Chains A and B, each alone.
Chain A
Amino acid sequence: MKRLRAVIVLMCAALALRAADAPKVFPYAYDLHDLPNGLRLIAVQTSFPNVVSLYIVIQVGSRNEVEPGKSGFAHLFEHMMFRGTKRFPPAKYEAVLKEAGAASNAYTSDDLTVYHATFSKEDLEPILDMEADRFQNLEYTQAQFRTEALAVLGEYNKNSSSPMQKLNEVYRDASFTRHTYKHTTMGFLKDIKDMPNQYEYSRQFFDRYYRPEFATILVVGDVQTAGVRNLVEKYWGSWQRGSFQPRIPEEPPPAGPRDAEISWPSPTLPWVLVAYRGSAYSDTDQDQAALDIISFIGFSESSELYKKLVITEQKVDLFGADNPDRIDPYLFSVVARVKNPRDIEYVRDAILEEFRTFLDQPVPADRLEAVKSHLRYQFALSLNSSEAIAARLARYVGLRRTPETINQLYEIYRQLTPEDIREVARKYFVDRGRTIVTLHGGIGK
């Protein structure tokens, strides 16, 4: 027995050594610094010359829209953040960015809202100053609010011509009962139309969430990290901590299976979507990492099913899986655009059959290694500019507020075995967690 324990200890030591020897997937050194008010700064010096990317990540998204009638509000609020302050009214704000030659924008997702700008390094201080003012002293009138709400309706309108937007709305609605992932980040159309009447709530939203304890500032590029730290303390140190604790409704265990049908008003090809209730993001448990790997083995371009449906049989022309990282358990989905309406059931059944294979047999070891290699190189190839590095970091920082989560996640990928993957598949690919949505579009040969 003693001898066995010694062997185990040695094995563990060998594993630990291998883990330590493996180069980190996120290869850059960074300065992670917490201000007393709860704001976190992550500064990364890169070798790309002259340019700096500033990403301000707020851990609020459509997941936080818990009150009825308020779906889409995190996104609307992202728009309001461009309505200025006393010091920097919108025209002056835009003029500063314009003089800096900045490329700037913002986006909102389920769990986070991100404001970003990329510019020449000499403009870092004036932009940090201006952004600090906006996050602390945003001001807008009711009239401005009502006008901006119309721009959000315009955004809904421009997206609404895509059947994918409708599929997204319907499968989330069908898959969740209580959790706010039930609605998309754009929100329900009826709520968007009512947005102009929600001025008071918008002030409350700002007061709750635009606080330093929800915020992480990423500065990535041709910078000295010590200097960045001084600037952020200078301009952002006075931001007052808040006290709001969001309570997100917990989703009960799934009670499916569920089905939904969509009849699309204008001609398009049919779509089939098969989803299972999935996992939350984790850099300690293996579930989400294993589901990621399944999404590649089962449903990526190099999967057997893709080859069958797209390349050999040619019954499908668009095909793929999605297993996004979310704070709370989300959805693993596979979607196919079917060339001939007669093949809808065939394609649906082929997808379901592929899910079943993960329950029955461990994945081939060589396929697993190919996916692990793919994930590592995919990440390395994505770090091709300071902006790309900041953009990649922002999504992880929205979940865990540290770049280290990336290294931990990739270490889990590295350790996963075929047996681990079968175990996770058996846990998640169950009938009661399944949603199938079919969109009929009236054309196809």
Chain B
Amino acid sequence: MKKLLLVVPLLLLACGRQASDRPRFVELPDSSPLVSFRLVFLTGAASDPPGKEGLAGLTASMLAEGGTRDRPYSEIVDAMFPMATSVSAQVDKEMTTFSAVTHRDNLDRFHALFRSMLLEPGWRPEDLTRLRDQNVNFLRVSLRGDNDEELGKEVLYNAIYASHPYGHNNAGTVRGLNAITMEDMKQFYAAHYTRANLIVGIGGGYPRDFPGRLRKDFEALPEGERSEVELPNPTPISGVRVRMVEKDTRSVAYSIGYPIDVKRGDPDYLPLLVMQSYFGQHRTSAGRLFTRMREERGLNYGDYAYIEYFPRGMFQLEPDPNLARRQQIFQIWIRPVEPETAQFALRLALFELDKLVKDGLTAEDLEHSRKFLTKYVNLLLRTKQAELGYAVDSVYYGIPDFATYVKEGLAKLTVEDVNRAIRTHLRTDRLQIVAVTPRAKSLADRLVGGRPSPISYNSPKPAEILGEDKIVAGWPIPIDSKALEIVPVEQVFE
């Protein structure tokens, strides 16, 4: 609640309106022929009631992919089709986002549809059946079956946040989804889709009076109160814990991490952003992990690190906005490695993490990352959807616009700030490891046994690498067999 009070004065600055005048608006007009909508409700999977995991996600699906009071879903699709537009929903723990882009030629027609989808949902049983199946199949088939990396990342969050409102997938659980009734969704909608919870982002070439029309639309929603779920601290991790997800697959995908008490707007956020850029910048070839694991040793396709939730990283080079959370984790993502080198790869990642914690960055490393981030932040905002999304996130976190926040904050950073933040928040001794792997027992035995895992290469390597390999091959990862569990993939997300 204290945090909320801090957010409100900044919103007044951002929106120039009275605090009681909800919903809040972020307006970014320009002369483009396109009009972008980004509506964020401050609610999400963390608000799923126990036993109904998936309620926030299914409710959002019903709005974005279901019929309205007057039109079945197929008619909405038909009406949208000539305009080549659609409404997308993204559900995270504390945010539910509806986004769409339309051409200004079609603005009025699109607006009428969008309005009725959000404000006059049809709650049709046939839509519920279809969308429930869709969400169950997302968990059971797509996430378990088609993408070992995303599976590992999501299981990592489940493991770290066990018995916590963040502890289930944003799509829910199979059992939770199957328990949800139409009445549950109507109640969730009534309680959470309120003006107090809504931030409306609108950008592009819309007429000047358009935001006023949107404001009038949302008078149909109840005023409500900001519904913020109480979040306990995640259970501390003692020692090194391992969850292996066993499936018939070619290689081993790892995700490793633990909670950090740092989020956007906190004093240590920018120092850790620099660390992330140096150590594991997403999908570039410049990060330390990438260079040492892939470029020098050819262990896999890539290796990265994060300080914020970053789903779908295998398909995109930049994070999506509107995944803002009050609690975040630090994580390392090791893309699939051959089973024979899986133990060595894990040791190397933890060896590099240890080196990072002990040695930190040099002043030169900081300068490189500072220059990179100061310019890269502009690229993060290069579409109107991204610009709106980041602006909404800034409202949530109570910070200035993201580019200013990053640029001004980075300008003041010293290498001591960065290394102190690393020492404060990062460690190698208490962490959660998730491995999606074939033949889990064999890998488990090797990890617990802790015997050296020397590596050989198909080409000559520099003496420096070979020397380091000797250390890495015996790098201790103290895993107690009691802290290691093997879960058949069929049980995940049930």
Binding site for B on A (CB under 8 A): 47-48, 50-51, 82, 90-91, 94-95, 97-105, 118-120, 123, 142-151, 153-155, 157-158, 160-164, 196, 265-269, 300-302, 307, 310-312, 314, 317, 337, 339, 369-370, 373-378, 380-381, 384-388, 441, 443
Alpha-carbon distance between A425 and B284 when the two chains are bound, in angstroms: 44
Binding site for A on B (CB under 8 A): 31-34, 73-74, 77-78, 81-86, 101-103, 105-106, 126, 129-130, 133-134, 137, 140-141, 144-149, 247-251, 253, 283-286, 291, 294-302, 314, 317-318, 335-338, 368-369, 371-379, 382-385, 457-461, 489-490
Alpha-carbon distance between A58 and B294 when the two chains are bound, in angstroms: 25
Q: Across the two chains, which residue of chain A brings its CB closest to B36?
A: A384
A82-B285, A154-B336, A443-B141 known; A105-B317 Cβ under 8 A? yes
A268 near B145 with CB under 8 A, answer yes
A143 near B285 with CB under 8 A, answer no
Contact of B73 among A47, A51, A157, A311 (CB under 8 A): A311
Contacts of B283 in A (CB 8 A): 105
Contacts of A267 in B (CB 8 A): 141, 144-145, 489-490
Alpha-carbon distance between A197 and B32 when the two chains are bound, in angstroms: 52
B137 near A317 with CB under 8 A, answer yes
Contacts of B106 in A (CB 8 A): 377
Contact of B368 among A99, A384, A387 (CB under 8 A): A99
Alpha-carbon distance between A380 and B35 when the two chains are bound, in angstroms: 12
Contacts of B291 in A (CB 8 A): 91
A162-B146, A164-B146, A314-B130 known; A103-B458 Cβ under 8 A? no
Contact of A384 among B285, B375, B384 (CB under 8 A): B384
A154-B337, A314-B129, A385-B382 known; A101-B134 Cβ under 8 A? no
Q: Across the two chains, which residue of chain B brings its CB closest to A105?
A: B317
Contacts of A149 in B (CB 8 A): 298, 458
B375 near A380 with CB under 8 A, answer no
B84 near A378 with CB under 8 A, answer yes
Contacts of B78 in A (CB 8 A): 302, 370
B133 near A269 with CB under 8 A, answer no
Q: Could you show 17 A-B contacts with beta carbons less than 8 Å apart? A: A90-B285, A94-B285, A95-B286, A98-B284, A98-B368, A99-B371, A142-B459, A143-B461, A147-B296, A161-B249, A266-B247, A307-B77, A337-B141, A377-B84, A377-B103, A380-B84, A381-B85
A147 near B83 with CB under 8 A, answer no
A161 near B147 with CB under 8 A, answer yes
A104 near B34 with CB under 8 A, answer no
A147 near B103 with CB under 8 A, answer no
A101-B374, A162-B146 known; A196-B458 Cβ under 8 A? yes
A158-B336, A266-B247 known; A100-B253 Cβ under 8 A? no
B460 near A143 with CB under 8 A, answer yes
Alpha-carbon distance between A154 and B300 when the two chains are bound, in angstroms: 4
SS class, residues of chain A in contact with chain B? helix
Alpha-carbon distance between A386 and B378 when the two chains are bound, in angstroms: 13
Alpha-carbon distance between A101 and B83 when the two chains are bound, in angstroms: 36
Contacts of B385 in A (CB 8 A): 384
Alpha-carbon distance between A441 and B335 when the two chains are bound, in angstroms: 25
Name the residue among B137, B146, B301 with the largest chain A CB count within 10 angstroms. B301
Q: Across the two chains, which residue of chain A brings its CB closest to B144?
A: A267
Contacts of B382 in A (CB 8 A): 48, 51, 118, 385-387
Contact of A95 among B146, B298, B368, B378 (CB under 8 A): B368
Minimum CB–CB distance from A324 to chain B (whole Å) comes to: 18
Contacts of A155 in B (CB 8 A): 301
B297 near A103 with CB under 8 A, answer no
Q: Across the two chains, which residue of chain B brings its CB closest to A48?
A: B382
Q: Across the two chains, which residue of chain B brings its CB closest to A339?
A: B133
Minimum CB–CB distance from A338 to chain B (whole Å) comes to: 11
Alpha-carbon distance between A51 and B318 when the two chains are bound, in angstroms: 16
Contact of A101 among B302, B314, B372, B457 (CB under 8 A): B372
Name the residue among A100, A142, A317 with the largest chain B CB count within 10 angstroms. A317
Alpha-carbon distance between A98 and B364 when the two chains are bound, in angstroms: 13
Minimum CB–CB distance from A390 to chain B (whole Å) comes to: 12
Contacts of B298 in A (CB 8 A): 146-151, 154
Alpha-carbon distance between A277 and B78 when the two chains are bound, in angstroms: 29
Alpha-carbon distance between A377 and B314 when the two chains are bound, in angstroms: 28
Contacts of A51 in B (CB 8 A): 378-379, 382
Contacts of B369 in A (CB 8 A): 98
Minimum CB–CB distance from B108 to chain A (whole Å) comes to: 15
